[in-house]
Structure 1
Amino acid sequence: MILASESPRRRELLAAVGVSFRVIPSGVDETPRSGEPPSRFVRRAALDKGEAVAKLHPSSFVLSADTIVVTDGRILGKPSNRAEARRMLSRLAGREHKVYTAVCLLADGNGYRDLGTEVTRVRFRPLTAAEIAAYARTGECDDKAGAYAAQGAGMLLIDRVVGSFTNVVGLPMTRVVAMLERASLIRVSPAGPSWYVFSGGKS
């Protein structure tokens, strides 16, 4: 299986449950179209990424994903600089936002496609300007949607999570594992250290 993402968080999540894969980033542009609703954009982005890699590797299953942070109906992408990161964090402080991750599993050779979206509600605690500035200086916000990493020091920003925590990190693993099982790509390991083992996939 191919993971069409260069995100280290997604690699770590898949590896944690024993899934075998190789990484081939898609290089697909992740810019929303004018007037495109967040829920539609995130599904299109995940599908576009998967299709770009699957066309080059038709005999392989490809797993792709896209994660966005949404508040007040507006997508917060990755900050372009620390000042923008501070503005994003100020916008999220003391409020609830939603994290959308669309996940796509497809194989170009046999037309297989499974696409789904997970939504998690996250509430930040109230943050002072000093706390926001200090977190931004860590650099952890630099390449993260919404300017925070829930699996890192950014966990201290969060008051409550409703839904899948791994979705906030970058992959809703319960959904992903179900997708891989439906495609007969993995099965529960009968023995050994891994939870799941590769089982071939549907033809």
Structure 2
Amino acid sequence: MLKEKLKNHQLILASGSPRRQQFLTDLGLDFSIELKPVEEIYPPELKGAQVAEYLAELKTTPFKNKLKENEILITGDTIVCLEEKVLGKPANEEEAHQMLESLSNRSHEVISSVCLTSAKKSVVFHDVTKVFFKELTTEEISFYIQAHQPYDKAGAYGIQEWIGQIGVDKIEGSYFNVMGMPLHLFYKEILEFIS
């Protein structure tokens, strides 16, 4: 259904995330992938959802004034917030270990933002999911980092991986949002975007 409505549009996904690519495939959409590097730095005064939306919009910068009439660019960003602190992607094993220790036996928020951009307009939106972790042992954290190398993931974990399977007690909100895209909002917003 969505594919039919988008038949006159060319979708460009500016993300190397295999999860976002799979989501669009699962929705039955045809799209191309274009990766253009952007330094993901945001103003320090931004908080929570503002950070995710800022970064999603920032990733559109290399494409500005280059989109054709029928093209829709999709960019996104996911962050993990522990109270007021934003946890990005860990730089190394030590940082990944510290992040997972800080998430152990607590709840945190995962905020995923998406920006839709055409030659004429742009819209950005986000969703928030609350994730509750059980108490993780040092052995569990070390095993996960060794086995899954979560250096491309905000907060140093993927909920769909082993640590999510054994460590997440419950979530409040969208599961797909934790994986990197609020699919229910994306569906609604892209239909509005082309109408």
- Name the TM-score, length of structure 2 as normaliser: 0.88
The equivalent residue for 1:80 is 91
- Tell me the residue number matched to 1:144: 153
- Distance in 1 (CA, whole Å) between partners of 2:46 and 2:53 is 11
For residues 12 and 133 of structure 1, the distance between their equivalents in structure 2, rounded to whole angstroms, comes to 28
Kindly provide the amino acid, as one letter, of the partner of residue 81 in structure 1: N
Tell me what 2:26 maps to. 16
Work out the percentage of aligned pairs sharing the same amino acid. Answer: 32
Deviation of 1:34 after TM superposition, in Å, equals 2.4
1:31 pairs with 2:41: yes
List 4+ stretches of structure 1 deviating above 6 A. Answer: none
Q: Partner of 2:100 in structure 1? A: 89
Q: Partners of 1:116 and 1:136 in 2: how far apart?
A: 31
Does structure 1 conserve the Cα–Cα contact (< 8 Å) formed by 2:129 and 2:178?
yes
For structure 1, list consecutive stretches of 5 or more residues without a partner in the other structure.
185-201
| SS in structure 2 of the partner of residue 25 of structure 1 | coil
Find the aligned partners of 2:62 and 2:134 in 1 and give their Cα distance. Answer: 39
The CA distance in 2 between the partners of 1:92 and 1:33, in whole Å, is 24
Retained in 1: the 8 A contact 2:42–2:54? no
Counterpart CA distance in 1 for 2:147 and 2:95 is 14
2:67 matched to 1:57? yes
Q: Provide, for residues 65-114 of structure 1, a one-character-per-residue CA deviation record: whole Å limited to 9, x for no partner.
A: 11000102111111111111010000000100001111111102xx2222
Check conservation: 2:79, 2:110, Cα contact below 8 A.
Answer: yes
Counterpart residue number, 2:117: 106
Q: How does 1:99-178 map to 2 (within 5 A)?
A: 99-108=110-119, 111-155=120-164, 156-178=166-188
| 1:54 shift after superposition | 4.3
Once residues 140 and 177 of structure 1 are traced to their aligned partners in structure 2, the CA distance between those partners, rounded to angstroms, is: 31
Per-residue CA distance 1:140-181 (angstroms, 9 max, x = gap) = 412110000111223222111110110100111111111221
RMSD value, Cα: 1.4
- Post-superposition shift, 1:3? 0.6
User: Post-superposition shift, 1:133?
Assistant: 1.1
Q: 2:151, 2:12 → 1: CA distance?
A: 26
- Tell me the amino acid that sits aligned with residue 116 of structure 1: F
Please name the residue that 2:3 is paired with: none
Indicate the larger mover: 144-153 or 57-66. Answer: 57-66
Q: Deviations over 1:172-191 (max 9, x none)?
A: 1111111221133xxxxxxx
Distance 2:172 2:149 in 1: 23
1:4 partnered with 2:17: no
**Structure 1 Cα separation of the partners of residues 45 and 122 of structure 2:** 26
In the alignment of these two chains, the number of paired residues is 183
**Structure 2: distance between partners of 1:160 and 1:54:** 40
Partner of residue 7, structure 2:
none
State the secondary structure of the residue aligned to 1:32: coil
